[in-house]
């Protein structure tokens, strides 16, 4: 007869999860490393990682009586990369379709219902996707879902690293899986390819330099010395995964929710910069990209246009100097400073006389200095 663990895993696969395993609900082995990482400031503005540390460091503080962590992985790799073009941006693959939090959580709650029905009365559980007080990559490794890559993501031998993770903390005692070995070997391709040098050494990431962090987690101005290195990324970054040898033969996802929405494979940067709030809300409803809010995405689009080297972007950036958000105006000014030319200079000089926000004024002044 199949064990409870076998039945639970079979049901998880039937729900569409590509990987499933079980780890013991004990304090994470990498807890001292995590605390040291936080202490060095590598989390940047992600203050939520420092909250509730007692809960994050012990599953029993999250769910009293926790015995097992049911870990799942879902493949979001959409296959061939859509070719970009002039004045086009890039979005990390996980964010081109529906919000993965909604996709995974709905199924994890159904999986929890199944465990409760099969495990008998008294089984309790908690569901988390990305935002809970769980060191999810360590839990996934202990559950046998893969190993900790040098880029700090989880890697599986067959699925590669295009994986979204979720967890169900359970009071039920399931059969634990065995962690596998590290297969990164001497490879350093992810470290070598990172545009900003965010991967300081194997398994150590300074989030403050990561393009994903800069385009999503930073809510105000992007540090000026990081903007040029962001290239054409407007939400997230996939460079370290694109160069990983374990992703060469990664299968494409069969989940329709992760298919790229129209125009998000290689988005038109000018179109993004010209969106008003109504257009942003309509286009990104149910998308992870809504997390940046309009001001953040338009800020990122302005930076990408500045990095394009294409002066055809100048008229749109000039319009950006009149945006309702000072954050967008400031980054449009920076982009105009990068592109240069008489039209950019004249628009910046006019904007300087009208700008009332101190930070945006500073951006305009620096942009004018860059042109001169």
**What is d(CA 9, CA 241) in angstroms, rounded to the nearest whole number?**
27
Q: Is 96 exposed, middle or buried (0-12, 13-18, 19+ CB in 10 A)?
A: buried
| Other C-beta atoms lying within 10 Å of the C-beta of residue 2 | 9
Of the listed 58, 106, 130, 182, which one is catalytic? 130
Q: Let me know: does 234 contact 76? Beta carbons within 8 Å.
A: no
Q: What is the pLDDT of residue 132?
A: 87
Q: What is the pLDDT of residue 228?
A: 98
Q: Let me know: does 344 contact 335? Beta carbons within 8 Å.
A: no
Q: What is the pLDDT of residue 223?
A: 98
| Known catalytic residue at 130 | yes
Q: What is the pLDDT of residue 305?
A: 98
Domain boundaries, the chain: 4-77+97-170, 189-371
Q: What is the pLDDT of residue 54?
A: 86
Mean pLDDT by 10 residues, the chain (372 residues): 91 98 95 95 93 90 96 91 78 96 97 95 94 93 98 96 98 96 97 98 97 98 98 97 96 94 94 98 96 98 98 98 98 98 97 97 97 84
For 304-322, b where at least 16 C-beta lie within 10 A, e where not — what string? bbbbbeeeebbebbbebbe
Q: What is the 3-state secondary structure (H, E, C) of 133-177?
A: CCCHHHHHHHCCCCEECCCCCEEECCCECCEEEEEEEECCCCCCC
Q: Which of 317, 184, 316 is nearest to 240 (CA)?
A: 184
Q: First CA to last CA across the chain, in angstroms? A: 78
**What is d(CA 151, CA 163) in angstroms, rounded to the nearest whole number?**
14
For 194-217, b where at least 16 C-beta lie within 10 A, e where not — what string? bbbebbeebebbbbbbbbbbbbbb
What pTM did the predictor assign?
Answer: 0.95
Describe the chain by its helix, strand, coil percentages, rounded to 5.
50, 10, 40
Alpha-carbon distance values, 355 to 76, 269, 352 (Å): 43, 24, 5
Q: Is 181 exposed, middle or buried (0-12, 13-18, 19+ CB in 10 A)?
A: exposed
Q: What is the pLDDT of residue 85?
A: 65
Strands 68-75 and 163-170: antiparallel
């Amino acid at each position: 007869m199949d064990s409870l663990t076998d039945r639970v895993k079979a049901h998880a696969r039937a729900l569409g999860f590509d990987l499933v395993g079980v780890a013991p609900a004990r304090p994470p082995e990498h807890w001292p490393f995590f605390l040291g990482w936080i202490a060095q400031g590598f989390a940047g503005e992600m203050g939520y990682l420092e909250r509730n540390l007692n809960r994050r460091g012990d599953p029993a503080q999250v769910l009293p009586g926790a015995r097992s962590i049911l870990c799942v992985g879902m493949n979001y790799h959409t296959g061939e990369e859509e070719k970009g073009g002039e004045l086009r941006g890039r979005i990390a693959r996980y964010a081109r379709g529906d919000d993965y939090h909604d996709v995974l959580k709905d199924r994890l709650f159904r999986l929890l219902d199944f465990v409760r029905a099969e495990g008998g009365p008294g089984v309790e559980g908690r569901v988390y996707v990305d935002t809970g007080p769980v060191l999810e990559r360590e839990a996934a490794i202990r559950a046998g879902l893969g190993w900790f890559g040098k880029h700090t993501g989880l890697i599986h031998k067959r699925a590669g690293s295009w994986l979204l993770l979720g967890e169900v903390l359970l009071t039920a005692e399931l059969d634990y899986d065995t962690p596998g070995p590290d297969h990164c070997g001497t490879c350093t391709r992810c470290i070598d390819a990172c545009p900003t040098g965010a991967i300081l050494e194997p398994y150590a990431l300074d989030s403050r330099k990561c393009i994903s962090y800069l385009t999503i987690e930073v809510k105000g101005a992007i540090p000026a010395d990081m903007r040029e290195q962001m290239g054409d990324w407007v939400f997230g970054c996939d460079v370290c995964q694109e160069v990983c040898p374990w992703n060469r033969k990664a299968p494409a996802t069969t989940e329709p929710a992760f298919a790229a929405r129209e125009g998000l494979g290689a988005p038109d940067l000018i179109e993004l910069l010209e969106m008003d709030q109504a257009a942003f809300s309509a286009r990104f409803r149910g998308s992870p990209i809504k997390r940046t809010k309009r001001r953040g995405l338009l800020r990122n689009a302005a930076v990408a246009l500045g990095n394009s080297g294409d002066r055809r972007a100048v008229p749109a950036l000039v319009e950006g100097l009149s945006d309702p958000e000072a954050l967008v105006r400031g980054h449009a000014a920076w982009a105009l400073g990068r592109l240069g030319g008489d039209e950019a200079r004249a628009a910046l000089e006019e904007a300087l006389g009208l700008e009332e926000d101190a930070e945006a004024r500073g951006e305009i002044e620096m942009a004018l200095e860059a042109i001169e």
